[in-house]
């Protein structure tokens, strides 16, 4: 797939996906979301990629939501399909075996906020603003916001954000656990890269297993404790386990192939 709406760049084993519709506040049209899904899916089997950063072009917006101009005339069937297709994209991110960081460089509204929620970690610039303004448009969030926001900040705070539609600035987002850390705009990408570089120096197999176990806490089909037992046992059969434990006993740094 050739990309019209995103930029991709792989450097030092980190794939950066930049949402590239700056003149439209990086609004997420349907094609753009498919491009993100394609890039994330391809990264799963790309040995040169060990982690992913998603950010927005420019300094004003990460993504100001789904593209209102695109969906304003959708029928019930089209609206349902839009949401279903979006959910697939966001599940692809959430279930990525390689850690995905949202580097939130401005407005993250509606689908933009939901995109950050599907990522494993969220780092924000000081000018970041989060919000779920969908009910102003006569719809609830359709890309998982009603579920993942509750998981991340709890029911009371999620309902406050969803029902008031008030934006949450970076400091408040940090305070309520919506973001992991806040940086200046200038440092957002470099600090995000630094943190992701540290993560990806660790066992790729164990990283994948942690993500899988944590995700299973939130799925009704799986018991997360059972997933953990299975993943823990399976780790004993991996070369990462041999390397990690040997390195500890030999008093050296483990080398997981970076």
Catalytic residues: 114, 134
> Segment contacting ligand COA (CB under 6 A): 44-52, 132-140, 153-161, 192-200?
132-140
Among residues 99, 133, 145, 244, the one that binds ligand COA under rule CB under 6 A:
133
Binder among 51, 99, 110, 244 for ligand COA (CB under 6 A): 110
* 112 versus 204: smaller Cβ distance to ligand COA: 112
Show the tokens assigned to 69: 């101009």
Q: Which one of 7, 10, 22, 24 is in contact with ligand COA (CB under 6 A)? A: 24
Instruction: Let me know: does 39 contact 15? Beta carbons within 8 Å.
Output: yes
166 contacts 133 by C-beta, under 8 angstroms: no
Residue 224, burial from CB neighbour count under 10 angstroms (0-12, 13-18, 19+)? middle
CA-based R_g, the chain, Å: 19
CA distance 218 to 216: 5
Q: Which of 6, 14, 19, 27 binds ligand COA (CB under 6 A)?
A: 27
8 A C-beta contact, residue 146 and residue 167:
no
SS3 assignment, position 89 = helix
Binding mask 52-81 for ligand COA (x = CB under 6 A): ------------xxxxxx------------
Give whichever of 99 and 142 is closer to ligand COA, judged by the CB atom.
142
Q: Does 134 bind ligand COA (CB under 6 A)?
A: yes
Residue where the block lists tokens 């500890």: 248
CB of 37 to ligand COA, least distance (A): 19
Strand partners, 125: 183
Least distance CB 157 / ligand COA (angstroms): 19
Q: Which residues contact 168 (CB under 8 A, 6 or more apart)?
A: 129, 130, 131, 161, 176, 178
* Count of residues engaged in binding ligand COA, rule: CB under 6 A: 16
- Site for ligand COA, rule CB under 6 A: 24-25, 27, 64-69, 107, 109-111, 133-134, 137
């Amino acid at each position: 797939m050739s990309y019209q709406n995103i930029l991709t760049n792989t450097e030092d084993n980190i794939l950066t996906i930049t949402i590239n519709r700056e003149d439209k506040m990086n609004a997420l049209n349907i094609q753009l979301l498919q491009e993100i899904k394609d890039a994330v899916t391809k990264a799963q089997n790309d040995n040169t990629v060990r982690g992913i950063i998603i950010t927005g072009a420019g300094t004003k917006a990460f993504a100001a939501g789904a593209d209102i101009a695109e969906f304003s005339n959708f029928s019930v069937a089209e609206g349902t399909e839009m949401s279903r297709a979006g959910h697939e994209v966001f599940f692809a991110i959430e279930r990525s075996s390689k850690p995905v960081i949202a580097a939130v460089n401005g407005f993250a509204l509606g689908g933009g906020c939901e995109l950050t929620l599907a990522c494993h970690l969220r780092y924000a610039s000081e000018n970041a603003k989060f919000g779920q303004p969908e009910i102003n448009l006569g719809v609830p969030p359709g890309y998982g916001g009603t579920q993942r926001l509750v998981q991340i900040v709890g029911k009371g705070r999620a309902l406050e954000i969803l029902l008031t539609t008030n934006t949450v600035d970076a400091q408040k987002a940090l305070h309520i656990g919506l973001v992991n850390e806040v940086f200046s705009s200038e440092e957002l990408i470099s600090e995000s890269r630094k943190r992701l570089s540290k993560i990806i120096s660790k066992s790729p197999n164990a990283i994948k297993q942690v993500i899988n176990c944590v995700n299973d806490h939130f799925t009704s089909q799986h018991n997360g404790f059972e997933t953990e037992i299975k993943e823990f046992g399976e780790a004993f059969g991996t070369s990462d386990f041999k390397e990690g434990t040997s390195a500890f006993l030999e008093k050296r740094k483990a080398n997981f192939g970076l």
